A = this chain, B = another copy of it.
Amino acid sequence: MTKNHQIVLDNRPKGEATAANFKLVETDIAPLQDGQVLVRHHYLSLDPYMRGRMNDSKSYAASQPLGEVMIGGTVGEVVESRHPDYAAGDQVVGMGGWQNYSVVTATQPGVLRKVDTTHVPLSAYLGAVGMPGVTAYYGLVHIIDPKPGQTVTVTAASGAVGSAYAALAKARGCRVVGIAGGPDKCRYAVEELGFDACLDYREYNQDTYALAKALKEACPDGIDGHFENVGGWIMDAVMLRANAFSRMAVCGMIAGYDGQPLSMANPALILINRMRVEGFIVSEHMQVWPAALKELGSLVASGKLRARESVAEGLSAAPEAFLGMLKGQNFGKQLVKLV
Interface residue ranges, A against B (CB under 8 Å): 58-60, 231, 235, 244, 250-253, 256, 261-268, 270-281, 284
Contacts and interface: CB of A to CB of B under 8 A. Distances in A.
A267 B231 contact: yes
Contacts of A274: 60, 278-281, 284
A192 B295 CA distance: 56
Stoichiometry, as copies per complex, reads 2
A89 to B, nearest CB: 39
Given A274-B279, A276-B278, A261 B253 contact: no
A276 B276 CA distance: 7
Contacts of A256: 268
A262 B264 CA distance: 9
Nearest to A276: B278
A263 B265 contact: yes
A272 B279 contact: yes
A244 B59 CA distance: 11
A261 to B, nearest CB: 4
Contact of A231 (B251, B268, B276): B268
Given A276-B278, A278-B276, A251 B264 contact: no
Question: Which interface residue of A252, A263, A281 has the most chain B CB atoms within 10 A?
Answer: A263
A275 B272 contact: no
Contacts of A251: 271
A59 B270 CA distance: 11
Instruction: Across the A-B interface, give the 7 residue pairs with the lowest CB-CB distance, nearest first.
Output: A271-B279, A261-B266, A264-B264, A264-B267, A263-B263, A253-B268, A270-B279
A212 B266 CA distance: 21
B279 A60 contact: no
13 contacts: A58-B272, A59-B272, A60-B271, A60-B272, A60-B273, A235-B267, A256-B268, A264-B267, A267-B267, A270-B279, A274-B279, A276-B278, A277-B278
Contacts of A261: 265-268
B278 A275 contact: yes
A253 to B, nearest CB: 4
Contacts of A60: 244, 271-274
Contacts of A279: 270-276
A256 B231 CA distance: 22
